[in-house]
Amino acid sequence: QNMHVQIVKDPAAGGVAGFKVFQQALAAGAKVFGLATGSTPISIYDQLTASDLDFSQLTSINLDEYVGLGSDHPQSYRYFMQHHLFNAKPFAHSYVPDGLNTDADTETKRYESIIAANPIDLQLLGLGRNGHVGFNEPGTAPQSTTHKVALTPSTIAANARFFDNADEVPRYAYSMGIGTILKAKQILIVAYGAEKAAAVAAMLQGPVTADVPASFLQTHPNVTVILDEQAASQL
């Protein structure tokens, strides 16, 4: 089996388990970490921040960013990363797509060439309720590279609570593609809560299909899956 599943009691325990995966990757010589936003990775970032691990010679590359938001916007993913990890644990280089670059073709090619020059050793992922990874919504091809995504109405609605009103929620994002993600040497995907249980079961036990982008992880040789008991409840 290429998918190593660990079931933990709660997100705090998941933070400790995820931290160990980072620690082992570092010990094995990992130099480039693919990072993610959302609520799921926060307990891992808390453990990394509290640790004595040193990332100052390493590189991080984030999965995605909203088009239109700059690093000073509190809802941008760059801002999130500064706040939850980089201020406390700086990397030598931290890449996040440039949401203020409105030329999608230039920006996505630039980002893809950064990844090609810095192959990702360990990619951290959260899981969307509909099985999305990054901003790769259902229907995204397994060969996809970094691209501009039109956010689905449900994603816009889900994120509206973070903005003053729904009109301010960005309509587009830049996201690594499925193909980009699958090139990482190792993948760590984490999911918590009953609302993720169906997506978790489809990811691990369902057919490999674009209907569930996370199911493409079944084709990757080295995936660690950390779940809490509720997210594992449909396995």
Residue 124 in 3-state DSSP? strand
Residue 135 sits in the site that holds ligand GLP (CB under 6 A): yes
Residue 64 sits in the site that holds ligand GLP (CB under 6 A): yes
**Annotated active-site residue in 84, 132, 147, 220:** 132
Q: Are strands 172-175 and 64-66 parallel, antiparallel or unpaired?
A: antiparallel
**Is there a contact between 100 and 134 (Cβ–Cβ < 8 Å)?**
no
Nearer to ligand GLP (CB atom), residue 18 or residue 126: 126
The one segment of 17-25, 36-44, 54-62, 201-209 that binds ligand GLP by CB under 6 A: 36-44
Sign, CA dihedral 209-212-218-219, equals positive
Interior/surface letters 24-33, b for 16+ CB within 10 angstroms, e for the rest: ebbeeebebb
The one segment of 16-24, 46-54, 122-130, 164-172 that binds ligand GLP by CB under 6 A: 122-130
Smallest distance, Å, CB 41 to ligand GLP?
7
Smallest distance, Å, CB 231 to ligand GLP?
10
Residue 65 sits in the site that holds ligand GLP (CB under 6 A): no
Nearer to ligand GLP (CB atom), residue 103 or residue 162: 162
What residue spans of the chain are helical by DSSP H? 11-27, 42-50, 77-81, 104-117, 153-159, 178-182, 197-205
Q: Residues in the site for ligand GLP, rule: CB under 6 A?
A: 36-40, 63-64, 126-128, 134-135, 155
